[in-house]
């Protein structure tokens, strides 16, 4: 039986209505190929319980603190700021219960931690988010509106982000994913320690991406990304679209018109 226990957050409803930062963290399960995901709203983490705990039924775990219980590891990468939300804790509780009703059983390649986090992220931010990495394998069915016409500015814990995009949409079924992005502009400075630092200015006129998990991917479009540093578990450097990155997501080589990604163990 699917299970969700609401966290004892100790806050009033009015406090819950404030805008809060949303982050996503990953822990390597199979380095470069498979990761456990968790999502943080304010100081509360949400995640699907590990398989040894869920057995066949999905279960949503919550906890407060600097890291989700399921991602506590020296291998866990620093959480990435992905957006903000005005959804209250009560609304999240209701959404979690509905998600478990629709996804009662844990499925390794579909109804898993990454499906849950991605669905929750799209709903929390009303599709106004930026996710700097791809799913390994998931079945994401949270509908998103293509035209976002909005952006966000966040400054928290050593990270400062200003992000805007005209529209984005994605489709994810198992290890296969595709995304379309139009009019994206993001500036980011990161100084959260040895695992994340640098300055980045990402600018995309249009991009169409297709990936098979973290194994291989291709991107076509027009971009002028510029920046250098370490973020999301990867070291990267770009000048006007030319450059690449290497790290937890493999190797990526980019030009202003074409990008290729490949897992380093293939």
In eight-state DSSP terms, residue 193 is S
- If the chain, 266 residues long, is cut into consecutive pieces of 10 residues, what is the mean pLDDT of each piece? 52 60 88 85 90 74 79 69 93 95 88 92 89 84 63 87 86 88 89 83 94 90 96 92 91 96 67
Q: What is the Cα–Cα distance from 148 to 86, expressed in whole angstroms?
A: 16
How high is the pLDDT of residue 258? 97
pLDDT value at position 71?
Answer: 65
Would you list the domain boundaries of the chain? Answer: 3-262
Q: How many CB atoms lie within 10 A of CB 257?
A: 12
Distance CA(173)–CA(170), nearest Å, equals: 10
Instruction: With residue 91 as reference, give the H or E element that holds it.
Output: helix 89-102
Alpha-carbon distance of 109 to 4, in angstroms, equals: 21
In this predicted model, what pLDDT tens digit does every residue of 69-90 receive, in sequence order?
766 665 566 788 999 999 999 9
pLDDT for position 144: 59
110: helix, strand or coil? coil
Cα separation, 135 vs 26, in Å, equals 11
Q: Sign of the CA dihedral 226, 230, 232, 235?
A: positive
pLDDT in tens, 30-62: 777 788 899 999 989 999 987 666 567 888 999
Whole-angstrom Cα distance, residue 22 to residue 33?
A: 24
User: Strand 80-85 to strand 176-191: parallel, antiparallel, or no bridges (unpaired)?
Assistant: unpaired
3-state secondary structure 218-238: EEEEEECCEEEEEECCEEEEE
pTM here is 0.84
pLDDT at residue 263 in the model: 75
Report pLDDT for 266.
45
């Amino acid at each position: 039986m699917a299970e969700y226990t609401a966290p004892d957050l100790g806050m009033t409803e009015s406090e819950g209505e404030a805008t809060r930062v949303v982050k996503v963290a990953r822990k390597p399960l199979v380095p470069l190929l498979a990761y456990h995901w968790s999502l943080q709203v304010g100081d509360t983490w949400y995640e699907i319980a590990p398989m040894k705990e869920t057995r066949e039924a999905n279960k949503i775990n919550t906890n407060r603190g600097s890291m989700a219980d399921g991602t506590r590891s020296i291998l866990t990468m620093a959480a990435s700021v992905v957006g903000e939300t005005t959804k209250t804790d009560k609304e999240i509780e209701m959404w979690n219960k509905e998600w478990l009703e629709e996804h009662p059983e844990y499925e390794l390649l579909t109804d898993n931690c990454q499906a849950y986090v991605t669905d929750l992220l799209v709903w929390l931010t009303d599709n106004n988010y930026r996710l700097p990495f791809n799913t390994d394998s998931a079945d994401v069915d949270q509908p998103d509106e293509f035209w976002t016409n909005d952006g966000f500015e966040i400054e928290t814990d050593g990270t400062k982000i200003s992000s805007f995009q005209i529209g984005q949409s994605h489709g994810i079924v198992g290890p296969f994913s595709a995304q379309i992005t139009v009019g994206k502009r993001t500036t980011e400075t990161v100084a959260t320690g040895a695992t994340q630092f640098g300055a980045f200015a990402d600018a995309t006129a249009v991009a169409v991406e297709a990936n098979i998990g973290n194994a291989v991917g291709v991107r076509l479009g027009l971009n002028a990304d510029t920046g250098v540093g370490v973020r999301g578990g990867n070291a990267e450097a770009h000048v006007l679209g030319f450059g690449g990155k290497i790290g937890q997501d493999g190797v990526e080589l980019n030009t202003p018109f074409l990008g290729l990604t490949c897992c380093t163990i293939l």
